[in-house]
Amino acid sequence: MKFQVGDQVKITTGKDKGKTGTITRVIPGKNEVVVAGINLYAKHTRPMAGRPGEKVVLERPLEAAKIAILNDQSQLDRIGYSVDKKGNKTRIFKKTGKVIPEPKKPTEEKSKK
Protein backbone atom coordinates (compact mmCIF):
# COMPACT_ATOMS: atom_id res chain seq x y z
CA MET A 1 0.00 0.00 0.00
CA LYS A 2 1.35 3.39 -0.97
CA PHE A 3 -0.18 5.35 1.92
CA GLN A 4 1.59 5.60 5.27
CA VAL A 5 0.58 6.70 8.76
CA GLY A 6 0.90 10.48 9.00
CA ASP A 7 0.11 11.33 5.35
CA GLN A 8 -2.15 14.35 4.76
CA VAL A 9 -5.08 13.22 2.59
CA LYS A 10 -8.33 14.58 1.18
CA ILE A 11 -11.54 12.55 0.93
CA THR A 12 -12.74 12.32 -2.70
CA THR A 13 -16.07 10.48 -2.33
CA GLY A 14 -18.79 9.78 0.21
CA LYS A 15 -20.44 11.74 2.98
CA ASP A 16 -17.16 13.39 4.03
CA LYS A 17 -16.14 14.46 0.50
CA GLY A 18 -13.83 17.48 0.55
CA LYS A 19 -12.60 17.07 4.13
CA THR A 20 -8.91 16.70 4.87
CA GLY A 21 -7.19 14.76 7.60
CA THR A 22 -4.21 12.71 8.65
CA ILE A 23 -3.98 8.94 8.33
CA THR A 24 -3.84 7.34 11.78
CA ARG A 25 -3.91 3.67 10.81
CA VAL A 26 -3.26 1.62 7.67
CA ILE A 27 -4.86 -1.80 7.07
CA PRO A 28 -2.98 -3.19 4.04
CA GLY A 29 -4.75 -6.56 3.99
CA LYS A 30 -8.09 -4.90 3.30
CA ASN A 31 -6.63 -1.89 1.40
CA GLU A 32 -8.17 0.46 3.94
CA VAL A 33 -7.05 3.44 6.02
CA VAL A 34 -8.38 5.25 9.08
CA VAL A 35 -8.34 9.05 8.85
CA ALA A 36 -8.58 11.18 12.00
CA GLY A 37 -12.02 12.80 12.37
CA ILE A 38 -13.42 11.29 9.16
CA ASN A 39 -16.11 8.60 8.65
CA LEU A 40 -17.38 8.85 12.21
CA TYR A 41 -20.22 6.77 13.59
CA ALA A 42 -21.88 6.55 16.99
CA LYS A 43 -22.00 3.36 19.01
CA HIS A 44 -24.39 3.23 21.94
CA THR A 45 -23.28 1.24 24.98
CA ARG A 46 -25.64 -0.21 27.53
CA PRO A 47 -25.40 0.63 31.21
CA MET A 48 -23.68 -2.22 33.04
CA ALA A 49 -22.46 -2.76 36.60
CA GLY A 50 -23.15 0.78 37.78
CA ARG A 51 -21.61 2.36 34.71
CA PRO A 52 -24.02 4.65 32.82
CA GLY A 53 -24.87 4.07 29.19
CA GLU A 54 -23.18 6.37 26.73
CA LYS A 55 -22.77 7.25 23.09
CA VAL A 56 -19.22 6.58 21.86
CA VAL A 57 -18.09 8.19 18.60
CA LEU A 58 -15.62 6.03 16.61
CA GLU A 59 -13.83 6.25 13.26
CA ARG A 60 -14.44 3.59 10.63
CA PRO A 61 -11.90 2.60 7.98
CA LEU A 62 -12.15 4.01 4.44
CA GLU A 63 -11.15 2.29 1.23
CA ALA A 64 -7.86 3.63 -0.10
CA ALA A 65 -9.58 4.44 -3.42
CA LYS A 66 -11.70 7.09 -1.66
CA ILE A 67 -8.75 9.26 -0.64
CA ALA A 68 -6.02 11.23 -2.40
CA ILE A 69 -2.75 12.50 -0.96
CA LEU A 70 -2.10 16.24 -0.77
CA ASN A 71 1.23 17.33 -2.22
CA ASP A 72 3.47 20.16 -0.99
CA GLN A 73 1.32 22.69 -2.93
CA SER A 74 -1.90 21.41 -1.26
CA GLN A 75 -3.14 19.87 -4.50
CA LEU A 76 -4.54 16.38 -4.96
CA ASP A 77 -1.87 14.04 -6.24
CA ARG A 78 -0.97 10.40 -6.71
CA ILE A 79 1.94 8.45 -5.29
CA GLY A 80 4.66 6.87 -7.39
CA TYR A 81 7.99 5.24 -6.67
CA SER A 82 11.52 6.09 -7.70
CA VAL A 83 14.39 3.62 -7.40
CA ASP A 84 17.95 4.95 -7.34
CA LYS A 85 21.09 3.14 -8.51
CA LYS A 86 21.67 1.65 -5.07
CA GLY A 87 18.20 0.11 -5.10
CA ASN A 88 16.65 2.46 -2.53
CA LYS A 89 12.96 2.96 -3.16
CA THR A 90 11.42 6.36 -2.37
CA ARG A 91 7.87 7.65 -2.72
CA ILE A 92 7.34 10.60 -5.08
CA PHE A 93 4.44 12.84 -6.10
CA LYS A 94 3.33 12.04 -9.66
CA LYS A 95 2.48 15.67 -10.62
CA THR A 96 5.54 17.43 -9.27
CA GLY A 97 8.06 14.58 -9.22
CA LYS A 98 9.29 15.65 -5.78
CA VAL A 99 10.15 13.17 -3.05
CA ILE A 100 7.42 12.73 -0.45
CA PRO A 101 8.88 13.60 2.96
CA GLU A 102 8.58 10.95 5.62
CA PRO A 103 5.28 11.66 7.40
CA LYS A 104 5.24 12.74 11.00
CA LYS A 105 3.75 9.85 12.88
CA PRO A 106 1.33 10.80 15.66
CA THR A 107 2.74 9.95 19.05
CA GLU A 108 0.57 7.83 21.27
CA GLU A 109 0.66 8.70 24.94
CA LYS A 110 0.73 5.63 27.12
CA SER A 111 -0.72 5.97 30.56
CA LYS A 112 1.52 5.06 33.46
CA LYS A 113 -0.03 2.82 36.07
**Per-residue pLDDT for 104 more than 80?**
no
Bridge partners of 68, per DSSP, are: 10
What is the pLDDT, as a whole number, of residue 107? 62
Residue 51, domain member (yes or no) = yes
What is the total count of domains within the chain?
Answer: 1
Q: Which domain holds residue 21?
A: 8-93
Residue 108, domain member (yes or no) = no
pLDDT in tens, 31-51: 999 999 999 999 999 999 999
Contacts of 63 (CB under 8 A, 6+ apart): 31, 32
What is the pLDDT, as a whole number, of residue 103? 72
Residue 87, sorted as left (phi over 0), alpha (psi -120 to 50) or beta, turns out to be left
The CATH number covering residue 24 comes to 2.30.30.30
Is the pTM value of this prediction over 0.95? no
Residue 104, domain member (yes or no) = no
Number of Cβ within 10 Å of residue 24's Cβ equals 17
What is the pLDDT, as a whole number, of residue 113? 47
Residue 45, domain member (yes or no) = yes
Distances from the Cα of 98 to the Cα of 10, 49, 78, 90, 105, angstroms: 19, 56, 12, 10, 20
Distances from the Cα of 46 to the Cα of 27, 60, 83, angstroms: 29, 21, 53
Q: Contact at 8 Å (CB) between 30 and 65?
A: no
Q: How would you label 79-95 residue by residue, b for 16+ Cβ within 10 Å and e otherwise?
A: beeeeeeeeeeebbbee
pLDDT in tens, 50-88: 999 999 999 999 999 999 999 999 999 999 999 999 999
Residue 107, domain member (yes or no) = no
Across the chain, mean pLDDT equals 90
